[in-house]
Amino acid sequence: MIENLPDAMLLHILSFLPAKDALKTSILSKRWRHLWMSVSNLYFEEWRPDKFVMFMNSAERVMMCRDVPRIEKFSLSSHMLNSACINALISNALSFKVQDFSLRLVYVGVPILLPHHLFSCPTLTVLNLEEVTQFPCTACLPNLKKVRLSCCLLPHQQSLLQFFSGCPKLQKLILNRCFWRDANLGFISTPMPEPVDITQLSSTTCLPDLKELELSFCLLPYGQSMVQFFGDCPKLQKLTLKECQWGLAKCLYISTPMLESLVICDATSSSGCKVVISGANIKSFSYHGDLTTTYCLCSSSIVDACIHVSSKGMIEREGREKEVAHRLHKLIMECCNVKHLELSPDTLEVCFQSIRSQLIMSLGQCFL
């Protein structure tokens, strides 16, 4: 029977429920009447505009009846129908020394600035923001370790680096479908100069403790500035690049001294950019794409490699079989010292097509 469980276990179960559902348990019995007030995880979600007022009243009641001094996790997902109410709820949550903060807002009207103390909360360790378009130029988050930004309009790159400089303990950064305000400059400016080797860049360390970096569907303003961005992560161990666009960059160098794992999902729009990967400590390499980009893998330390060539039908329709086969052959040869190599069926077929065409050409020369 659930009634026989200790309060600590019941609170743990309630911590997985939305706040409004946890509140409803107060009618079950006398024991449950005040139990919900001690839940340390609060999840508020409401997407129906006609229920917004009721939703905010319920959220305000939950916050006012708190029976514990701290909130471990706080999550808010809603339409931004009343900015004053939303900001008041956020400020109230921050007063409980929240550690894990998640916010997803769909704006109706003009975007507003979030409370500035959200970006200066000393207890925050995890920050998850989605569809946020206004960021302050500076931040002071001394204990922040993980950041995930989705569908956000980021400030100018220098402002963004200044923002992250206020997060000295940041270890994991995820940017998903984010855009820089100056991203279009990369498409209308003059061609970029020749890329600079990362070992020759002299720049201050912006993210000294960052260990994991994931960029997904991001439009990056300048390839060369992203080289510098990678270079400012001396402890980076895992790098994931999914469907990113490099703008006008002709060559991108990925070389960080502590990098151990590299995952790349190629974007068809990144054609023309040569990617050079160098690292003495890379143990794992994974590639998934249609090889529109030339990859040079300069590392003899790789133990596990995974190569998946996708969109085989598109490659044939575009007449890129020979080009892809050449790039694939080069990439596989650079992984010749690995202990475990995984190739997808389409990858093997591309390899066999290359071998078959070479064999037919050789036999034809013999007959001649």
* Structure-derived torsion over alpha carbons of residues 117, 122, 125, 126, reported in degrees to the nearest 10: 0
Amino acid 202: pLDDT: 38
Amino acid 80: pLDDT: 74
Amino acid 135: pLDDT: 79
Amino acid 110: pLDDT: 62
Amino acid 359: pLDDT: 44
Amino acid 239: pLDDT: 92
Amino acid 141: pLDDT: 94
Amino acid 351: pLDDT: 74
Ranges of residues in the chain with a pLDDT under 50 are: 183-204, 223-225, 227-228, 359-368
